[in-house]
Structure 1
Amino acid sequence: MKRLGMGAIASVMTLALAACGGSGSSGSSDDAAADGYPEDDITMIVTYAAGGPTDIAGRAVAAAFEKELGVSVVVENVEGASGAVGSAQLSQSQPDGLTVAMTTASAVSRVPLIEEVGFTLDDVIPIGVVTEGAGVILVPEDSPYETIDDLVEAARANPNEVTIGAAGAQTPQAVEIERMKSEYDVPLQLVPFQGDAPSLTALLGGNVDAIVPSYNEAVRAQAEAGAIRPLAVLGPERADYLPDVPTLAESGFEDLIYGISTFILIAPAGTPDAIVAKLEEALEGAVKDEDTYAALDGEILVPEEFTGSDELQTQIKDEIDALEVVLQELFG
């Protein structure tokens, strides 16, 4: 596997990995650990840059947790390596429910498969889904690329000269762009950023030809203002909020349906089951809270049905089974 040349990862890896066996404790000790929880303030690590969708989601949930749990929630942005730096720090925190992280499913599932980042999926416990949304390929309003076919044609005519920004090198959207290159001969030049917000800034500044973020509030605001235009959606179906925008699958790239960002809350492995249950309950309450729902852009990004810990773990493992070989071929 590759090694990340990042000081932050190196510093995280100098800490000893917390020993853990399974997702949590059980029995009377489990119940005792949850009595009175939380007894102190909670730290929430956000694994991407401030201002991006992970940060917005994290701060909205943090505010709701303060109401739900009755303690302060301190948000810390620990960005880098497509969310892996902050996730690694979380994995090595005390499993007492007082440190959680807002991250993406790909940061704890895909990235550890292709990079040595100091943790694996077994070192964290997914608590639940906060928001999710398919990536969207967007260009500036004055771009010569009117359709996804125009962008593809230009990339094939000028290999590795048409640039497309993503919120990291191994995000779901970045992986689909790399698959376009390797499986469909569309040699776009991927430019990774530390989150959607920096990639959007780069697009507006003319530093990249296109970007592939989630359709978060900041992106949508620029689209509605006429500054940027969507060309294609990276999910299996057209988005309800972009009904006229085709998917990559219907544009000739049938297998490219996994470019979906799922923003999740995680805790360290070994966190007692009863505390996991309390966090799960608090998270479900948070995403259904009227104020939080609005802050999360709920009409677009919050799923109709809440996905809790057990179901989320199953979903993540199923996706790993589907993509592990592809990821190893692309990045291993």
Structure 2
Amino acid sequence: MRRRLLSLLPSLGLAALLSPGAQAQPAFPDHPITMIVAYAAGGGTDTAARTLARSMEKGLGQTVVVVNRPGAAGEIGWAELARSKPDGYTIGFINTPTIVTVPIERQARFQLEDFVPIANIVDDPGGIWVLPDSPWRSLKELVEAAKKEPGTIGYGTTGIGSDDHLAMLALERQTGARFLHIPFAGSSQVRTALFSKNLPVAVVNMGEGIADARQGLVRPLAQLGTRRWEATPDVPTAREQGFDVVEGSMRGVAAPAGVPQPVLERLAKAVHGAVDDPDFRQMATQQSLPLRFLGPDAFKTELLALREHYAKLWAMHPWKE
């Protein structure tokens, strides 16, 4: 009997190895990854996402397909990302402040807890832009004009609760001026409206407007960082001009909550490798992307701090129109 049991062991072992539950899972990733961008094609987020996706493909060995889902200040794209299967095959770009402000201002279809941060890539200061022939040569002149004709000078942003919108609301509170807010689905549409003279003022991030400025298509009145961005050393900050307005947008990568830890680590490694890739850095320089890499934990800490900050701001000065 003992001899018979021993003779069965090899076949039993083989059967166990061949059983579906015992078979090794395929290495991640074994098919293309989708990257959701919650803003329109051609804007700063879209540009950063497509540049990063190309470099991530080197480390992952799979295609990263960027899909645009613009609208509702990012809510459409982020709601889709939040509902996606948490297997690592759907990731997305998330933007501050709207990733935290949208759920503060309304009953949104996502919460910050619906995502797990992978890495931050860009930290882009805000900017206020006009056409080269605009009568306003400084932020002070723009404010004085808005005071004389309240509610008539329109400015375009990437949506209610965006950094662009919050910056102009802060400017209004400090000065008593009143502007006319016109939200768009992305910075590319804001810029187009400015070029076509359907808008007198565009409020988009510095990294989104600098290429137009270098071509002589627009003129910056102010940048909204705490200090001058090194790529635009001749553009004064709002603070330098007497207005305490500081806003900007971080842009990073996240996945739906519940992604397995090994998959999350694989994605984080791929993003970090992409950011360190000389080809990516060269493209980022050409595109004037203000890079600021943060790993998963540091990115999460920043997001939580921003949510606390904007929750307090909402309690004092609700921005919903």
- The TM-score with structure 1 as length reference comes to 0.84
The partner residue of 1:317 within 292, 304, 307 is 304
Counterpart for residue 268 of structure 1:
256
Counterpart for residue 226 of structure 2:
236
Q: Indicate if the aligned counterparts of 2:155 and 2:179 stay in contact, CA closer than 8 A.
A: yes
* Offset from partner CA, 1:19-68 (integer Å, 9 cap, x none): xxxxxxxxxxxxx9997111222111111001111111111122122211
Deviation at 1:299, TM superposition (A): 8.1
Q: Indicate if the aligned counterparts of 2:59 and 2:270 stay in contact, CA closer than 8 A.
A: yes
Q: 1:34 and 1:97, CA in 2 relative to 1: closer, same or farther beyond 3 A?
A: farther
Q: Indicate if the aligned counterparts of 2:117 and 2:300 stay in contact, CA closer than 8 A.
A: yes
Deviation at 1:267, TM superposition (A): 0.3
Number of equivalences: 297
CA distance in 1, matches of 2:132, 2:168: 21
The partner residue of 1:177 within 168, 171, 182 is 168
SS in structure 1 at match of 2:136: coil
CA distance in 2, matches of 1:296, 1:116: 36
Deviation at 1:115, TM superposition (A): 2.0
Q: 1:228 and 1:316, CA in 2 relative to 1: closer, same or farther beyond 3 A?
A: same
Q: Indicate if the aligned counterparts of 2:38 and 2:69 stay in contact, CA closer than 8 A.
A: yes
* Offset from partner CA, 1:166-189 (integer Å, 9 cap, x none): 122221121111122234312121
CA distance in 2, matches of 1:193, 1:33: 48
Q: Indicate if the aligned counterparts of 2:97 and 2:306 stay in contact, CA closer than 8 A.
A: no
Q: Is residue 152 of structure 2 the alignment partner of residue 166 of structure 1?
A: no
Q: Which amino acid aligns with 2:223?
A: V
Counterpart for residue 220 of structure 1:
210
CA distance in 2, matches of 1:116, 1:287: 35
SS in structure 2 at match of 1:173: helix
Q: Which amino acid aligns with 1:197?
A: S
In the TM superposition, what are the counterparts of 1:131-146 in structure 2 within 5 Å? 131-146=122-137
Structure 1 residue ranges (4+ consecutive) displaced by more than 6 angstroms after TM superposition: 32-35
Identity %: 34
Counterpart for residue 75 of structure 1:
66
The partner residue of 1:327 within 302, 306, 314 is 314
Q: Is residue 253 of structure 2 the alignment partner of residue 296 of structure 1?
A: no
SS in structure 2 at match of 1:320: helix
The partner residue of 1:92 within 83, 86, 100 is 83
Q: Which amino acid aligns with 2:217?
A: A
Q: Is residue 37 of structure 2 the alignment partner of residue 49 of structure 1?
A: no
CA distance in 2, matches of 1:97, 1:208: 41
Counterpart for residue 252 of structure 1:
242
Q: Indicate if the aligned counterparts of 2:231 and 2:288 stay in contact, CA closer than 8 A.
A: yes
Counterpart for residue 3 of structure 2:
none
* Offset from partner CA, 1:150-172 (integer Å, 9 cap, x none): 10000111111111111222211
CA distance in 2, matches of 1:63, 1:81: 27
**Aligned-pair RMSD on alpha carbons?**
2.0
Deviation at 1:300, TM superposition (A): 4.1
CA distance in 2, matches of 1:184, 1:170: 20
SS in structure 2 at match of 1:213: strand
Q: Indicate if the aligned counterparts of 1:131 and 1:296 stay in contact, CA closer than 8 A.
A: no
Structure 2: 5+ residue stretches without partners: 1-22
SS in structure 2 at match of 1:45: strand
Structure 1: 5+ residue stretches without partners: 1-31
* Offset from partner CA, 1:207-226 (integer Å, 9 cap, x none): 11111111236x22221122
CA distance in 2, matches of 1:199, 1:33: 50
CA distance in 2, matches of 1:80, 1:33: 41
Q: Is residue 277 of structure 2 the alignment partner of residue 286 of structure 1?
A: no
Q: 1:38 and 1:144, CA in 2 relative to 1: closer, same or farther beyond 3 A?
A: same
- The TM-score with structure 2 as length reference comes to 0.87
Q: Which amino acid aligns with 1:297?
A: T
SS in structure 1 at match of 2:206: coil
